A and B are shown apart, each in its own frame.
Chain A
Amino acid sequence: MAALGLGAVDWLVVVIYFAFIIWLGFYLKRFTKTQEDFFLAGRKNSAWVAGLAFLSANLGALELLGMAGNTFKYGMYVAHFYWIGAIPAMIFLGLYMMPFYYSSRIHSVPGYLKLRFDEKTRILNAIAFGIMTLLVSGINLYAMALVLHTFVGWNWDVSMWISAMAVAVYITMSGLLSAIFTEIIQFFLIWFGLFLVAVLGIVEIGGIDEIFARIPPSFATLWSTSGDASLNGMLVTWAGIVLGLGFVLSFGYWTTDFLVVQRAFSARDLRAARMTPIIASFFKMAVPFLVIMTGLVALILADDPGSGFALLRDGEQVNYDSVLPLLIQRYYPTGLIGLGVTALLAAFMAGQAGNVSAFNTVWTYDIYRALINPKASDATLLWMGRVTTVVGILLSVMTAYWAKGFPSIMDYMQAIFSWVNAPLFATMLLGMFVVWITPNGAFWGLLAGMGSSFSLFMAVKFQWINPATITLSPVASDMAANFWRAWWAWLICFAVTILVSVFTRKRPRTELVGLVKGLTAEKAAQTIPFLRTPEFYGIVSIIILIVLNVYFW
Chain B
Amino acid sequence: MKSIWFFVGLLLTIMGAIITASAVYSLFHPPVQTKIFSDLHPDLWWGIIMLFFGLVFVFMNRRSRVS
On A, residues with C-beta under 8 Å from B are 9, 12-13, 16-17, 20, 24, 27-28, 31, 44, 49, 180-181, 184-185, 188-189, 192, 196, 200, 203-204, 330-336, 339, 342
Contact = CB atoms under 8 A, between A and B. Distances in A.
Contact of A333 (B1, B4, B7, B26): B26
Contacts of A333: 23, 26, 31, 34-35, 38, 42-43
Given A20-B14, A44-B67, A332-B43, 19 more contacts: A9-B19, A16-B18, A24-B7, A44-B66, A185-B7, A185-B8, A188-B12, A189-B11, A192-B12, A192-B15, A192-B50, A331-B37, A331-B42, A332-B42, A333-B31, A333-B35, A334-B22, A335-B47, A336-B19
B26 A331 contact: no
Given A9-B22, A13-B18, A336-B19, A330 B36 contact: yes
Given A13-B18, A331-B36, A339-B19, A20 B11 contact: yes
Given A188-B8, A331-B37, A333-B26, A12 B31 contact: no
A280 B18 CA distance: 30
B46 interface: yes
Interface in B20-56: 22-23, 26, 31, 34-38, 42-43, 46-47, 50
Contacts of B36: 200, 204, 330-331
A332 B58 CA distance: 27
Contacts of B15: 13, 16-17, 192, 339, 342
Interface of B: 1, 4, 7-8, 10-12, 14-15, 18-19, 22-23, 26, 31, 34-38, 42-43, 46-47, 50, 66-67
Contacts of B66: 44
A14 to B, nearest CB: 10
Nearest to A309: B36
Contacts of B37: 200, 203-204, 331
Contacts of A17: 11, 15
Nearest to A49: B4
A32 to B, nearest CB: 10
A199 B52 CA distance: 19
Contact of A336 (B11, B34, B46): B46
A180 B66 CA distance: 14
Given A184-B4, A330-B35, A331-B36, A13 B42 contact: no
B46 A196 contact: yes
Contacts of B12: 188, 192
A181 B10 CA distance: 13
Contacts of A185: 4, 7-8, 11
Given A28-B1, A192-B50, A196-B42, A335 B14 contact: no
Nearest to B2: A27
Contacts of B43: 332-336
Given A200-B37, A330-B35, A31 B22 contact: no
Nearest to B23: A335
A181 B42 contact: no
A174 to B, nearest CB: 10
Contacts of A336: 19, 42-43, 46
Max chain A C-beta neighbours (<10 A), residue from B34, B36, B66: B36
Contacts of A335: 18-19, 22-23, 43, 47
A28 B66 CA distance: 12
A28 B31 CA distance: 41
Contacts of A192: 12, 15, 46, 50
A12 B18 contact: yes
9 contacts: A12-B18, A184-B8, A185-B8, A332-B42, A332-B43, A334-B43, A335-B23, A339-B15, A339-B46
A326 to B, nearest CB: 12
Nearest to A52: B4
Nearest to B20: A335
Contacts of A20: 10-11, 14
A181 B7 contact: yes
A9 B26 CA distance: 12
Contacts of B19: 9, 13, 335-336, 339
A336 B11 CA distance: 15
A84 to B, nearest CB: 31
Contacts of A339: 15, 19, 46
